[in-house]
Chain A
Amino acid sequence: MRTLISDTQLNRRRGRIVYRIVLCLVVGGFTLVFLGPLYWLVTGGLKTTQEVIQNPPTLFPHSVHFDTYGEAWSKMRMGRLLFNTLYYAFGALAFQLVFDVAAAYALSKLRPVLGNVILGMMLATLMIPSAVLIVPQYLTVLDLPLLHVNLVNTPWAIWLPTVANAFNIFLLKRFFDSVPDELLAAASVDGAGPLRTLWSIILPMSRPILGVVSIFAVVNVWKDFLWPLLVQTDPKNQTLNIGITSLSTGVPQNVVIAALAIASAPTVVFFLIFQRNIMAGLTAGSIKG
């Protein structure tokens, strides 16, 4: 595809030289800026407590200490924190997929009375910055209206609020809107009810957008900080972000760094495996959305 600079221009002698230089600079610079800190993260956990705070810092560990990772795993209760975070993330994903897909389908294809009002009210929440609502949301979770249950320190406090995600509704509804009505009419003639239509026609066509929603759902929980800080106060329920933060004081720097490396590994590996899908999903989502 033709971009800012044409291939003919690049194929000229000068163009080729300039291109080579720019390419080397960009590749080198990016590697340094984005992989450099990760290298420091991994090797920092291999150094001794003295070496990690040595001045000047050492590029390669003098001697490799894998046991720091073991120490981090047990001292920082990494197993527990990892399990909690995964549990919250995939629970949130399940609730969002079920409730938001159903809602978007209803708003897009079943078009009930007041559907547009509901859609408008949902989209209006996009205008409300999430940090603004943190206090009343916390008080709501502390004492749920009508039911009067306290969700703090239960997984529900993480799972249920993630369903109220207008961005999901927006993305899904827009995608469902593009499914031709004739197709649904044909299914209806064949005797398929709404649930069957959603399951066998719409969902298989919507894989790209479901991928985008799923990635955002998991990553959002994985990265969230302020909300789990408030609603998961019990150390045994904490997420990676909160647990490491509260345990990091009073622990040697190399152990903290090893813990950070362990905490980053799952998402980085997940990203490297699925990077094609994640990138394709993100770009598709951003153009369509």
Chain B
Amino acid sequence: MRQTLRRNVTAHGFLLGALLCFALFSWYPMIREIVMSFQRTKRGHTRWVGLDNLDLLTQDPAFWQAWRNTLLFTVLALALGFAVPFVVAIVLNELRHAKGYLRVLVYLPVMMPPVASVLLFKYFYDPGYGLFNNILHTLHLPTSAWLNSSDTAMISVVIAATWMNMGGATLIYLAALQTIPGELYEAAELDGAGLLRRIWHVTIPQTRLILSLLLLLQIVATMQVFVEPYLLTGGNGPQGSTTTVVYLIYQYAFNFNNYGAASALGLVLLLVLAAFSAVYVRLSRNND
């Protein structure tokens, strides 16, 4: 009895530091996030306003545009940021030479401070003296206004974001590929399966769990995009074409000082992402 008590006291002693930090910086803010979504503070006076914050948001055209932009960013970022690392990982896994060098290269941007990569891309994107337009010009291809046009601003942000972030996913896929038993490929080959069929019937099923988990994580991460548009286009971009949901949260909270609306928007984002996760859990359960 006394021993159990002592063990418990010791254990909770070990837990204390982390527990306090979780309480202060995760659990309490989460509760506060929900509470503040239904409150409004004016001149230091806070009162409950029900769903007024949500009303305010939905009447703001920027709200709908931010969602459209964020979804567009997510779709584009996944098309590039999910598929490219997978293909790259498959190719890298087949190479017998220069593997270490290539892995270092692909991971290098991940280690750079985002401000360096983003401002460098901003320099490349410059329609006048930028590198990209000059390359296109040299190849006799049509040049682009990149960040300065509402049509191309978002895709420009996505390209920069993919360059910056694809290393992590590539290395994780690569690690997953290395766990596939070689006998499976041998057996498939004996059965006469060609290269693409081996990828389809061995590689993808064997890495399905990590693929689907990373897909979910990437959706959650890309829907929270902030730094890239903030630095590349100043946040809103031409005609608000790069305003993202998190940037709008930032604006409501720190430019308009409307913490209630900012929290309500955060809660909406949380619910949307939770819905994605729920779909994921449902699908992965059905598959097993």
Please report A residues at the B interface, Cβ cutoff 8 Å. 1-6, 10, 19, 22-23, 26-27, 30-31, 33-35, 37-38, 40-41, 44, 53-57, 95, 98-100, 102-103, 105-107, 110-113, 115, 118, 121-122, 125, 127-141, 144-145, 160-161, 163-164, 166, 169, 194, 219, 222-223, 225-226, 230, 240-242, 244-245, 248, 253, 256-257, 260-261, 263-264, 267-268, 270-272, 275, 278-279, 282-283, 286-287
Contact = CB atoms under 8 A, between A and B. Distances in A.
Given A6-B189, A127-B274, A283 B21 contact: no
Contacts of B185: 2-4, 6
Contact of B107 (A23, A260, A271): A271
Given A103-B14, A112-B12, A286-B210, 10 more contacts: A106-B12, A111-B11, A135-B33, A140-B24, A141-B25, A226-B246, A226-B250, A267-B113, A270-B111, A286-B171
Nearest to A222: B113
Nearest to B104: A275
A27, A112, A118: residue with the most chain B Cβ atoms closer than 10 Å:
A112
Do most interface residues of chain A lie in helix, strand or loop, or is the interface mixed? Answer: helix
B113 A136 contact: no
B29 A136 contact: yes
B111 A128 contact: no
The 6 closest A-B pairs by CB, nearest first: A2-B182, A112-B11, A103-B18, A99-B17, A110-B11, A106-B14
Contact of A223 (B24, B114, B254): B114
Contacts of B36: 135-136
B11, B19, B269: residue with the most chain A Cβ atoms closer than 10 Å:
B11
Interface size on B, as a range, is: 35 or more
27 contacts: A1-B182, A2-B185, A6-B189, A27-B98, A30-B106, A41-B116, A56-B134, A56-B138, A57-B129, A102-B18, A103-B17, A106-B10, A106-B14, A121-B22, A130-B224, A131-B249, A136-B36, A141-B25, A194-B14, A240-B113, A241-B114, A245-B119, A271-B104, A279-B107, A282-B171, A283-B171, A286-B175
A263 to B, nearest CB: 5
Interface of B: 7-8, 10-12, 14-15, 17-19, 21-22, 24-30, 32-33, 36, 90-98, 100-117, 119-121, 123-124, 126, 128-131, 134, 137-138, 163, 168, 171-172, 174-180, 182-183, 185-186, 189, 195, 198-199, 202-203, 210, 220, 223-224, 226-227, 230-231, 246, 249-250, 253-254, 259, 262-263, 266-267, 269-270, 273-274, 277
A169 B90 CA distance: 31
Do most interface residues of chain B lie in helix, strand or loop, or is the interface mixed? Answer: helix
A11 B29 CA distance: 60
B30 A128 contact: yes
A134 B220 CA distance: 15
